[in-house]
């Protein structure tokens, strides 16, 4: 949507600071009153069980916000960790709350981003509950490509994916052995290449067919009635 002069000024008036975080650090403390916008690098949201097992619930990529729920409601049900060196911008949570009465269209955009996160979590639940290992893997690689393509971090059907097979296993609910075996089989079929933190989707059409992939849950724009809303009209 096109921003008005007032909306641009609201963005310029946000209280923020940019920080550089090394790999292995918390992206944002669970009790933080700030929202983190990732500018560069990869992170993940995860939960640790009492016996030390980890479930990665989602990967955080450039352009993603995290911490909105915690700053608005004082509750966070996950931890975060940087998977690479990251550059982030911290925005005061009070400024996010202020958008809802000073700049409702910008607040709607934040809400849209949260709705997209919910849609991705729904797909993740479907993968864990109903898709087999091959289908889970295909869906993950295709979804990451779609998300990175939106923010300009792909080269046609190739992109950097700086995560290990162990992280893939923690995300997809598989053993590392199962992940390794599945990747080898998919490589042998000519579906994809995954090596040295880099992915090439060699047969994206067949990958989509394998898992029934549809990127609608990632795309779309604000409803016209919201995008064109004029609070002063």
127-147 pLDDT per residue, tens: 999 999 999 999 999 999 999
Rounded to an integer, the average pLDDT of 98-108 is 87
Task: Please classify residue 130 by burial: count the beta carbons closer than 10 Å to its beta carbon, then call 0-12 exposed, 13-18 middle and 19+ buried.
Answer: exposed
- Asked if the model's pLDDT at residue 225 lies above 90, the reply is no
Question: Hey, is 153 helix, strand or coil?
Answer: coil
Angle at 191 between CA 185 and CA 195, to 5 degrees: 75
If one compares 215 and 153, the residue with the highest pLDDT of the two is 153
Indicate whether 205 pLDDT > 80.
yes
More confident residue, 151 or 74: 151
What's residue 59's pLDDT?
97
Asked whether the beta carbons of 83 and 23 are under 8 A apart, the reply is: yes
233 band by pLDDT with thresholds 50, 70 and 90: low
Give CA–CA dist 204/191, Å, rounded: 7
pLDDT in tens, 23-58: 999 988 766 788 888 999 999 999 999 999 999 999
Q: What are 55's strand-pairing partners?
A: 47
| 168 vs 164: CA distance, rounded Å | 6
pLDDT of residue 226: 62
Q: Is the pLDDT of residue 120 over 90?
A: yes
Q: Kindly report which listed range (169-178, 195-204, 211-220) carries the lowest average pLDDT score.
A: 211-220
């Amino acid at each position: 949507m096109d921003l008005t002069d007032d909306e641009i000024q609201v963005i310029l008036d946000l209280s923020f600071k940019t920080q550089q975080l090394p790999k292995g650090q918390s992206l944002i403390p669970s009790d933080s009153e700030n929202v983190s916008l990732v500018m560069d690098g990869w992170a993940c949201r995860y939960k640790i069980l009492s016996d030390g097992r980890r479930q990665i619930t989602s990967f955080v990529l450039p352009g993603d916000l995290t911490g909105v729920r915690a700053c608005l409601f004082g509750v966070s049900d996950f931890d975060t960790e940087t998977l690479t060196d990251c550059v982030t911008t911290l925005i005061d949570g009070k400024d996010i709350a202020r958008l809802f009465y000073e700049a409702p269209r910008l607040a709607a955009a934040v809400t849209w981003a949260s709705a997209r996160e919910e849609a991705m979590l729904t797909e993740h639940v479907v993968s864990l509950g109903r898709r087999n290992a091959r289908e889970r893997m295909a869906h993950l690689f295709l979804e990451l490509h779609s998300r990175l393509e939106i923010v300009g971090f792909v080269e046609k059907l190739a992109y950097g994916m700086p995560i290990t097979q162990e992280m893939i296993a923690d995300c997809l609910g598989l053993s590392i052995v199962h992940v390794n075996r599945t990747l080898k089989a998919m490589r042998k079929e000519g579906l994809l290449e995954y090596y040295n933190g880099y992915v090439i989707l060699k047969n994206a059409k067949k990958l989509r067919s394998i898992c029934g992939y549809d990127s609608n849950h990632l795309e779309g724009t604000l409803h016209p009635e919201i995008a064109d809303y004029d609070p002063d009209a």
